[in-house]
Structure 1
Amino acid sequence: MIEITDTQKIGVGLAGFGMTFLFLGVLLLFDKGLLAIGNILFISGLACVIGLQRTFFFFFQRHKIKASIAFFGGITVVLLGWPMVGMIAEMYGFLLLFRGFLPAAVNFLRMVPVLGSLLNLPIIRGIVDRIAGDNGRNMDGAS
């Protein structure tokens, strides 16, 4: 079993609150205050979970520099007062940054009872398969 430190537990909470504030900010017609708080909480939660040095190296690897510029540029644009444009840039950067992690996350969400049923609806399944890659459809081990 992996030992989780108190800092990592706090980081998971911060990242969760960050995602909640981001969701509420988008839901409330791109409220820039909620989006800004969500961005700050998500980044600080990520830093607490994996550590400051690993967070810095994650964002500033040579092959991820375009994605990092889009992500942090989007945060800056949100803070400057153009939340819709900033969130589009952030989403683009987020998808590029976490491209390798998305198939595992989608496969996990497909195993959750209610979400799995929603993700397997015909229209949604096609979109999710494109995001996650077609290789992640079957988790049951049958080939």
Structure 2
Amino acid sequence: MPSALPVGDAHPYLRAASAGVRHHARALTQQTAPTSADRVHLDVVHAHLTALHQLLDHLAEVTRPPNPAAGRHLATAHTRLWQSAAAVHDAFHLLPAVHETAPDTECHPERLPEGPPVLTICQRHLAASHLVRRKTTPSDLNTPLHGHTTSCSR
């Protein structure tokens, strides 16, 4: 869904990343034989989610002083994005590796079927979790999104 705001050359990398995600989602829905997610796919999605998580963290920090209400909404989005990244990380470990027959629920970055890349999903998840622990309470992480209202004013 395109934005109603003037775009110009503002944030070209974010626009390109969003376009890439939309293109990938369209391509998946247009496949004649649907395929399930694999570990490589979830690793890439997790990398995208953790990058968005870092971006939202920064935006919440700089928005909160001049606009506290908007900053709180961004902080809530930051928390929900972390919950999404954690769920993708958990799903990654529930998928069987190429050489396994049953899913492995333990985190073993050294046994990734793709080999140990420079930054595995588990290392990335651990690095992001340090940020979460510094800025989010456990009750915030476990609270579902209840009573969240947004008023859209034009």
TM-score (normalised: structure 1)? 0.35
Larger Rg: 2
**Larger % of helix: which?**
1
Higher relative contact order (CA 8 A, sep 6+): 2
TM-score (normalised: structure 2)? 0.33
